[in-house]
Amino acid sequence: MKKINEIDFAIPAEEMKELEKKTKEFLDRLRKSCGKKAEIFVGGSFVKGTLTKSDDYDIDVFVRFSKSVDLSSELERILNRAGIKFERWHGSRDYFRVSSSKGVTFEVIPVKKISNAKQADNVTDLSYLHVNYVRKNLKGLARDVRLAKQFAKAAGVYGAESYVNGFSGYALECLVIYYGGFEKMLRGLLKAKEREVIDDARLYKRKADVFVEMNESKTSGPLILVDPTFKERNVLAALSGESFSKFKEHALGYFKGKESFSVKGINVDGLIKEAKRRKAEFLHLRLESDRQEGDIAGTKMKKFSRYLVDSLGKWFIVLRSEFSYSGSGGADFYLVVKSRGIVKRRGPPLSMVEEVKKFKRVNKKVVSRKGRLWSVEKVDFSAKDYLKKVDREVIGGMGISGMKIEG
Tens of pLDDT along 232-283? 999 999 999 999 999 999 999 999 999 999 998 899 999 999 999 999 999 9
Distance CA 338, CA 306 (A): 17
H or E element in which residue 253 lies: helix 241-255
Tell me if domain 4-116 and domain 342-378 are identical in fold: no
Whole-number pLDDT of residue 68 = 79
Residues of the chain with pLDDT under 70: 1, 407
pLDDT at site 288: 95
List the strands of the sheet with 230-234, edge to edge.
196-198, 223-227, 230-234
pLDDT at 181: 97
Type of residue numbered 217: S
| Domain covering 142-255: architecture | Orthogonal Bundle (1.10)
Query: Where along the chain do its domains lie?
Result: 4-116, 142-255, 268-341+381-406, 342-378
The per-residue pLDDT for 326 is 87
Q: Domain 342-378 adopts which CATH fold? A: Alpha-Beta Plaits (3.30.70)
Judge contact between 162 and 327, C-beta under 8 A: no
How far, in Å, are 40, 115, 123, 130 from residue 126 at the CA level? 14, 10, 6, 6
Starting at the edge strand found earlier in the chain, the sheet holding 95-101 runs: 38-42, 57-65, 104-112, 95-101, 87-89
321 C-beta neighbours (distance < 10 Å), count: 17
Handedness of CA 41, 33, 120, 90 (dihedral sign): negative
Nearest to 203 by CA among 118, 112, 124: 118
Q: Three-state SS string across 333-376, please?
A: EEEEEEECCEEEEEEEECCCHHHHHHHHHHCCCEEEECCEEEEE
CATH architecture of the domain formed by 4-116: 2-Layer Sandwich (3.30)
For the whole model, what pTM was predicted? 0.87
Give the model's pLDDT for residue 225. Answer: 98
Determine the pLDDT at residue 103. 86
* Rg of the chain, C-alpha, whole Å: 25
- What's the confidence (pLDDT) of residue 1? 57
Distance CA 338, CA 281 (A): 6
Architecture of domain 268-341+381-406: 2-Layer Sandwich (3.30)
For 35, 112, 133, the CA distances from 66, given in Å and listed in that order, are 13, 6, 21
Q: Show Cβ contacts of residue 69 under 8 Å, excluding neighbours closer than 6 positions.
A: none
Report the distance separating Cα 20 and Cα 28, nearest Å: 12
